[in-house]
Structures are given as C-alpha cells and as structure tokens.
Structure 1
Amino acid sequence: MDYLSPTYFYDYESDEIEVFISEFRNTTLSKKEIAKQLYLKVRDTWRYNPYNLSLNKEKYRASEIAKRTNGHCIDKSIVLIASLRALDIPARIHLAKVKNHIGVERLIEKFGSNELTPHGMVDVFLNDKWLKISPTFNASLCAMLNVAPLDFDGENDAVLQPFNEEGTQFMEYLEDYGHFEDLPIAFMVKNAREHYPNIFNADSKQTEFLL
C-alpha cells in the first residue's frame, strides 16, 4: 500500500496545501513534532460543521477544503492526510460510526439520528507504529461543550473524547469500518444513504445538502 503519494483527494501538490504547510518546510523539527503541530493546526483552523453533506467528490479534494472556513470530520481528516503525506509522513483515512450524546437536538432534527457515519479520522505512521488521531472538534467548540480539547502527543492514539469535563458521556464509538489507502467515496455515499434515508429522495439527483 502507498500512504505517501498524492491522489485526486489528497492533492498536496496544489498551491492551497503548499501554502498551508509552508511553515513546516525546511524545518529542523522531527516528524513527530511536525505531526503534532499539523494536527493542532488542522483541528483549530476549520470550525467543525457536520451539517454540510456533499455527494460531490470534487468537494472532498484537500485543495478545495482548504478554501473553506469550516468542515466536518472527513474534510478535516483529508486536509491532515494531504499535509502529512506532503511532508513525507505516511497517513491514511480511517472511518467509523460514532454516537454523539451532547447537544444532539439539531443532529436528530436534521439527520433523524444522533449517530454520525461515516466518521473520519486519520491513521498516521510515526516511530514504526500507526496511531489514530481525530482533528474533529476545534478548541473553541470544545469550550462551548465543556469538553477538554483533544490533544495529540505523537506517541498515543488521540480519538474522540468519551466524556465531558463533568463526566457526562460525550462521544461513543459504535463501529469501526477500518482504514483505506484513498478516500472511499462510493462507500461513504452508500453508508450515508443507508443511515440517513430521510435526507435522500430515491429519485433525486441532489448532491449537496445544507442541513
């Protein structure tokens, strides 16, 4: 498997991604430190927004996501993967199903469920091992939800916080779909249609959903 090359989705040779990672070029930082800082930059540069659902593969290119100010978990994972690969750090997409237990009223109203799927995270290869990291929730959103921001130490997995600061259940992992060499857009579309049938009209050609 190739987890370093650019692809249609991880188009890190684009101007947008090159600008985003420019501060990490010609640096004396170790790959571990680069990965930690890139994680934080992606986590907090884009405001988390789960309510913009697209079936248009063009919207999932790293260069296109870089032009926006908000994104969902898969958007942010794509940018992080592209940035890591550009800096010679192997990375791949990892998908799962999760359940949100805090602030779910709008989720249930729009999606008919407080389950989020497919949820995107990143597998990064550092010091001879794969680590799972989730740059989903920006620090300002975490403050609003009374959840500690999810940090990454470069040595251990950094997956979604199970509880908030008061010990209330926050995020729950329900199913692991595994990792993929490139973005599995067909799987993502099929998965969304199966889990959110109230959004999709069987005869509709609509590809963008602002919920």
Structure 2
Amino acid sequence: MDRHAPPSGADREPGRFTDADHPAVRAFTDRVVAGAADDRSRAVALFTAVRDEIRYDPFRIATGPGDYRASAVAVAPSNWCVPKAVLLTAAARAAGIPARLGFSDVRNHLSTPRLRARMRGSDLFVWHGWTALWLDGRWVKATPAFNAELCARFGVAPIGFDGTADALMHEFDGDGARHMTYTRDRGTFHDLPLDEVLATFRDHYGEGMFTADAGGTDAFTS
C-alpha cells in the first residue's frame, strides 16, 4: 500500500463486519479511549485493549458471518487474528481514525502439535489479519493478535505499538530462533472478504479447521 495515499471516505465508515456504529463497538471504544488526547494515543489504547482483553485462540474459527462482526468480537473473551483485526479496524473508525483491514500469509514457526494437526501439518497461516491506521499523515500497520499472557508462555515479548512504526509479528523468538516470516501481502480492504477467507482456509486446511475442537490444553489454551 502507498503509505501516504490519503484515506478515502470508506476508511471512516462502518461496514457489514466493521460495524463501527454498533452500540457494542461504541461502548468498547469509548471506554478504551477515555482520556486519550489525540489520534495516536487513541490508536495505541485501542490496539492494546484488543490485543490483551481478547485472548488469542486459534481453535475458535467459526463459519457464521455473525461471529466476525466487530460488535460480536467486542464482547467475546477470546478470538483469533482476523476477528481481532476486524474489531481494531471498526473501533478505530468509531474513534475517528481512518482504518483498513489488511491481510498477509505468514509462515509461523511458533506452534503446537495440537494446532499443527488441525492445520494438516502446515506452518503457513493464510489470511493473517492486521489493521492499517491513518496516523500523522501516513498508514501504519498493527496486528493485535497475540495477547501478552500468551506471549509470555512462548517466551516472546508482546508486540508493542506506539503509533509511529509498524507493529507486526516478531521475526525471531526470545531465543533468537526464527519465529514468523511474512510470505505474501494480500492487500487492504474496507471490510472483511469472509467468503474468500473461508474458501482459502478450506483449500489449505480442509473442513477440520472448522469443526468443534476435541479439547485438551496447550500453550494457546492453558
């Protein structure tokens, strides 16, 4: 994306999934940004709240459109990267900050046997979600996926965001081993292309990605 291309009107407006005008999104946003003095501090507060208040859970991948609306994500205790990015995008718009949904394919070397089994042994996470925020005349990228508590379990510092630089996944873990590699940029969108996301998931991982999890614990759920 062109970092300095001005936002369009759509970058400020609600969408089907980025329902920034919903009371639940408004309530979440108003609570989180209370006392913030400017767009940058509001963006940082929203990023931190979405990252840490909603626990990352890669076993919670739904197919119903209602589960992907920001208004539903705002009141859920856990979710995965795409819905969390939807909420951050909608909440930013609710706070008056232009925002877009962004997606990349990410090769994640930090996983668990339980998650790899669910993904047919793959370490490629397709349609990894993030948010592009218009701050100080440029687009800045941020992914609120991994909550701080989860990062501590894996020995990785949580992604920090100060509103001036991109906050994407760590390239290395705490021991210096390869952690994540971005392999494909799928671009930015006004709203969630859910049908395309789910179709790609079915191609890569099969229907097992959407079935009820058999249970058990690992670093993602313990």
TM normalised by structure 1 equals 0.91
Asked if 1 retains the 8 angstrom alpha-carbon contact of 2:118 and 2:205, the reply is no
SS for the counterpart of 1:18 is helix
Shift of 1:186: 1.8
Asked if 2 retains the 8 angstrom alpha-carbon contact of 1:96 and 1:174, the reply is yes
CA distance 1:25–1:116, change in 2 (3 Å): closer
Asked if 2 retains the 8 angstrom alpha-carbon contact of 1:9 and 1:61, the reply is yes
Amino acid at match of 2:118: K
Q: Identical aligned pairs, as a percentage?
A: 32
- 1:62-211 to structure 2, matched below 5 A, reads 62-112=70-120, 113-197=122-206, 199=208, 208-211=210-213
Residue 37 of structure 1 corresponds to: 45
User: C-alpha separation between the residues in 1 aligned to 2:144 and 2:20?
Assistant: 18
User: C-alpha separation between the residues in 2 aligned to 1:24 and 1:100?
Assistant: 30
CA distance 1:104–1:173, change in 2 (3 Å): farther
User: C-alpha separation between the residues in 1 aligned to 2:162 and 2:183?
Assistant: 25
CA distance 1:41–1:24, change in 2 (3 Å): closer
Asked if 1 retains the 8 angstrom alpha-carbon contact of 2:36 and 2:42, the reply is no
User: C-alpha separation between the residues in 2 aligned to 1:50 and 1:27?
Assistant: 33
Provide the alpha-carbon RMSD of the alignment: 1.6
SS for the counterpart of 2:44 is helix
Task: Tell me the alpha carbon deviations over residues 11-47 of structure 1, each in whole angstroms, 9 at most, x when there is no partner.
Answer: 1222211221123567451101110111111100011
Shift of 1:115: 1.4
Deviates more, 1:191-200 or 1:66-75: 191-200
Shift of 1:60: 0.5
TM normalised by structure 2 equals 0.86
User: C-alpha separation between the residues in 1 aligned to 2:108 and 2:33?
Assistant: 37
Equivalenced residues, count: 204
Residue 27 of structure 2 corresponds to: 19
User: C-alpha separation between the residues in 1 aligned to 2:36 and 2:206?
Assistant: 50
SS for the counterpart of 2:48 is helix
User: In structure 2, which of residues 56, 61, 75 is the aligned counterpart of residue 48 of structure 1?
Assistant: 56
- Structure 1 segments of 4 or more deviating over 6 A? none
